[in-house]
Amino acid sequence: MTISLMKLFPLSACAVMVLAGCEGEAVVPDTQLITGATFITMEAGPSPEAMAIKDGRIIAIGAQETLRVAYPDALQRDFTGKTIIPGVVDSHVHARELGMDAIKVDLVGVKNVDDIVARIRAQRPDATPGEWIIGQGWDEGAFADLGGPGGYPTTQALSVAYPDTPIALEALHGFAAMANDSALAKAGITAATPDPEGGTILRRDDGQPSGVLLTLSQALLFNAVPSLDQAQIERAIVVGLETLAAQGVTSVHEAGMEGRDVEAFTALADRGELPIRVFGLLNGNDGALMAEWFDRGPLDDPQDRLDIGGIKVFYDGSLGSRTALMRAPYSDRPDTARPTARISLAEVESLGEDARTYGFQMAVHAIGDEANANILTSYERRLAPNETRPTPDHRWRIEHAQVVTADFAERAAALNVIASMQPSHAMGDSDWAEDRVGPRRIRRAYAWKSFQDAGVPIIFNSDLPGEPWAPMETLHFAVTRTKLDGSPAGGWYLGEALDREASLRAMTLTGAYAAFQDDSLGSLAVGKWADFVVLSDNPLTATDIRPITVEATYVAGQEITKTPAN
């Protein structure tokens, strides 16, 4: 599939005029010359002074005067005082969900069910009885310590406040949901409803549903919520990608594409309406979808607009909801834990065999130490060379790798398995994570530096929406191990932080490597796409990363965000 560059990234006439003014026919210059900025290339060697671009790719990089002589007719863009970095590759996102947040009640930061009621009243003051209200963002980790069935509060306050309006509320990380009585009734969830395989309906002492559903039981609720149509899904995707672009993200790995997502992303790509690049990871838990794609094979776009080449598999649950698979019981409330395998290990191994046969990358969600060990074992069985089959350039991944066994890093490095990790999760979980696993296991959790020292390839990403996700926030978390307010003082297990250059590499070049795109993305080098970000300050030297702003984002040499006025 080849997509027109100008169709994907249209420019106004004024933006591309070589002649002064906006009269006459617009002319796209053959070459652009970027000067004045501090360049962070993520390549070896001294920092260049200028970069030349033609047909969307970098054609030269080096001394400013040399390039000016070589390209005297180039359109010059001066970014004196700014810093230019390669476009950020956010290698684990849910862009459609980010776009859909505009129609959801934002519950990030609520502390209890009364807070949720207040937030809904503030954001949906004109709610119509009978019409669904959808929200997202309550923290299943924090709520699991509030008391009640399974550690969670009941949703009685929601039912009292909204007796005739069905309410379905997604948790921050997607491993639990809340519903009021009206929503439970519409979904047909009663005291007699059995727990589905891989899921738990939390219940009060009288057997009635408490209103909280863990892991796969959420489907019972959300299957009753009216579905979006194709146009709404496409709009949500575009809004999500545009939001990402405004923060300097030029490429994403969409994790867990459903069938309708694939249709929407493909339709947008065919019409040239994807604002940034997308590498798709299919929902590996959907057997019918995978059968279809194993039959057709990966989608490899020569222009790197929309590639679909990976499989995202949900294996276990989450640490916060105590549904992650742990080798030993949870340290705080083992009686309320519901360790969950959302797919059997045999099914994961079957997917791995098909992935290797048909040329797909595996990316498996694993949070607990038992889950991570199991997935590594599965990978070893599928990737180990034999007399007829050498080890492929697989670039298989483990998504999250939050809590691991003592031998995990050594085993992962031997297989060259990529650890796909989220600095925001470490900081978001830091208030309660040690309670869950205890003082010994916490030292093998969110262990970025230990992984790096062992030779494990690391990619940093956001897993948005949920925790703070902007790239400069991710970088701050990675290098300081503190929240945005600077707490805790001295950093949370600071010894596992990475330095700034290594963290930025994990967000750019290694992210491109994880999608088999490091020959065309992830650094500023001759022959690669001219995807770059203009920043207000240098993230490698600034005293504080948090105030750094994105002033412009470029994809294939074309600005896709407006530069703020001086």
Whichever domain contains 183, its CATH number is 3.10.310.70
pLDDT at 496: 98
Residue 191 located in a structural domain = yes
Cα-Cα-Cα-Cα torsion 376, 348, 309, 517, nearest 10 degrees, comes to: -10
Residue 316 located in a structural domain = no
Element (H, E) at 54: strand 50-54
pTM, entire model? 0.83
Spans of the chain below 50 pLDDT? 1-28, 563-566
pLDDT at 11: 33
* CA–centroid distance for 408 within its chain: 23
* pLDDT tens per residue, range 302-359: 999 999 999 999 999 999 999 999 999 999 999 989 999 999 999 999 999 999 999 9
Residue 173 located in a structural domain = yes
Nearest to 176 by CA among 215, 209, 211: 215
In DSSP terms, 403 is beta-bridged to: 445
Which residues have a Cβ under 8 Å from the Cβ of 491 and sit 6 or more positions away?
A: 480, 481, 482, 497
pLDDT at 384: 77
Rounded CA separation 89/531 (Å): 10
Task: Give φ, ψ of 37 to 5 degrees.
Answer: -85, 165
* CA–centroid distance for 485 within its chain: 22
Residue 164 located in a structural domain = yes
Is the distance from CB of 511 to CB of 91 less than 8 angstroms?
A: yes
pLDDT at 293: 98
At residue 511, the 3 state secondary structure works out as helix
pLDDT at 540: 98
Residue 6 located in a structural domain = yes
pLDDT at 446: 98
Which of 206, 222, 238 is where one domain is finished?
Answer: 222
Q: What is the CATH number of the domain that holds 38?
A: 2.30.40.10
Percent of residues in the chain assigned helix, strand, coil, to nearest 5: 35, 20, 45
pLDDT at 392: 81
pLDDT at 29: 63
Tally of domains in the chain? 2
Residue 540 in tokens: 């490698």
Task: Please identify which residue in the block is written with the tokens 């956001």.
Answer: 462
In DSSP terms, 39 is beta-bridged to: 84
pLDDT at 273: 96
Rounded CA separation 237/261 (Å): 9
Rounded CA separation 156/538 (Å): 50
Which of 167, 198, 222 is where one domain is finished?
Answer: 222
Range of the domain at 159: 97-222
